[in-house]
Amino acid sequence: MIELRGLSKTYKVHKSLPGFKGAVKNFFAREYNEIEALKNVSFRIENGRITGLLGANGAGKTSLLKILSGLIYPTGGEVTVEGFTPYERKKEFKKNITFVMGQKGQLMWDLAAMQSYIMNKHIYEIDDARFQRHLNSLIEIFQARDLVNIQVRKLSFGQRMRVEIIGALLHNPKIVFLDEPTIGLDFASQNTIRKFVIEYNKQYGTTFIITSHNLNDIENVCNDIMIMKQGELIVSDSLTNVIQRYSEEKIVEITFSDSVDSGILNQFGQVAIEKNKAEARVEKTKIKELIGYCYENENVLDVNIRDIPLEVVIEGLMTHGESLSYE
């Protein structure tokens, strides 16, 4: 389990004054600003969940992951990960987690990935049989048999991402932090990462926290979603609940046998028409009335109701926001 109560993180950043006089003043009497990266963040994540962490640049996502992984200290509040306090960096804790950053590699640049794997084997004290078995499983999942013996610097970005994740998971951690794992990858490589997360979670019950600006990562992989805004956690819920709870509208697709009467449909909401099909964005309170109209209209051949796209819901939450209390 991952649990936070009232977590905060403040960075002290010095003011840089321009010119020679400013440089002299900076040297003898430096002034500082305080930046609140995290403000009173509280949540709980149960084991085995895949959680998407969203927010604009500077919202505090990476700072949060760094605190959870023990890389930096919080300014205030409490945090426990698998019963450990991350910033104490106990050996047992470090064996339970891994942190993969899409923009920062961990493997030795001038070595083949396999050589780094063998080094990690000794660092994490993995026995030979377990190491070989788990390595072969990961190589098979990522179809990386031909990649692990090539110098890392000679691999493409997508290939490097695959061998990086293999290296990060050799010790079979219970919790995986993925920071922008699909950034800069082509469509096929993105799908490979997504499928891996789902399969690995099913096989080992591993907990994942994933940050991404690509909503396909969140929509296709995650069970839960957290949204941050200016250091505050404004939403923490299941993905299904977020869509249902925060979307006050539905998309209704109507297929007609001939022409569409846009005048009548416009009273239900925003309508887009193409040939004999109409797509209406309708408030939930008007759905029943619209269905009644469709049922009585002999020209209606088919009606389909679906949720507002996730990106529209997320955009609204990140723009307007809503703070949720900790339970």
Instruction: For residue 25, name the pLDDT band (cuts at 50, 70, 90).
Output: confident
Average pLDDT, the chain: 84
Q: Please spell the DSSP secondary structure of 230-243, one letter per residue.
A: TTEEEEEEEHHHHH
205 domain residue, yes or no: yes
Total structural domains in the chain? Answer: 2
Using the 3D structure, point to which of 243, 259, 285 is the last residue of a domain. 243
91 versus 308: the higher-pLDDT residue is 91
188 domain residue, yes or no: yes
Instruction: For residue 322, name the pLDDT band (cuts at 50, 70, 90).
Output: low
pLDDT at 30: 76
327 domain residue, yes or no: no
Give the mean model confidence (pLDDT) for residues 134-145: 87
58 domain residue, yes or no: yes
Say whether both 201 and 295 belong to one domain.
no
User: What amino acid occupies position 44?
Assistant: R
Q: Please spell the DSSP secondary structure of 49-99, one letter per residue.
A: -EEEEEE-TTSSHHHHHHHHTTSS--SEEEEEETTB-GGG--HHHHTTEEE
Based on its alpha-carbon atoms, the radius of gyration of the chain, rounded to whole angstroms, reads: 25
Query: Collapsing DSSP states into helix, strand and coil, what is residue 156?
Result: coil
Of 23-27, 61-65, 114-118, 319-323, the poorest mean pLDDT is in 319-323
What would the pLDDT profile of 234-260 be if each residue is shown by its tens digit? 888 888 888 777 777 788 888 888 777
Instruction: For residue 264, name the pLDDT band (cuts at 50, 70, 90).
Output: confident
What would the pLDDT profile of 265-275 be if each residue is shown by its tens digit? 777 877 888 78
pLDDT at 326: 30
3 domain residue, yes or no: no
Above 60 in pLDDT, residue 69? yes
pLDDT at 314: 80
10 domain residue, yes or no: no
Say whether both 239 and 253 belong to one domain.
no
21 domain residue, yes or no: no
Domain containing 271: what range? Answer: 249-307
Using the 3D structure, point to which of 243, 264, 280 is the last residue of a domain. 243
32 versus 38: the higher-pLDDT residue is 38
- For residue 303, the tally of other CB atoms under 10 A from its CB is 14
Above 70 in pLDDT, residue 39? yes
Whichever domain contains 263, its CATH number is: 3.30.70
Residue 259 CA to residue 165 CA, distance in Å, equals: 54
226 domain residue, yes or no: yes
Q: Tell me the percentage of the chain whose pLDDT exceeds 90.
A: 24
Of 21-35, 94-108, 284-298, the poorest mean pLDDT is in 21-35
Say whether both 225 and 253 belong to one domain.
no
Say whether both 179 and 162 belong to one domain.
yes
Say whether both 80 and 137 belong to one domain.
yes
Whichever domain contains 198, its CATH number is: 3.40.50.300
Give the mean model confidence (pLDDT) for residues 292-297: 80
The answer to whether 4 and 209 have CB atoms below 8 angstroms apart is no
Say whether both 74 and 148 belong to one domain.
yes
Say whether both 183 and 254 belong to one domain.
no
Say whether both 156 and 50 belong to one domain.
yes
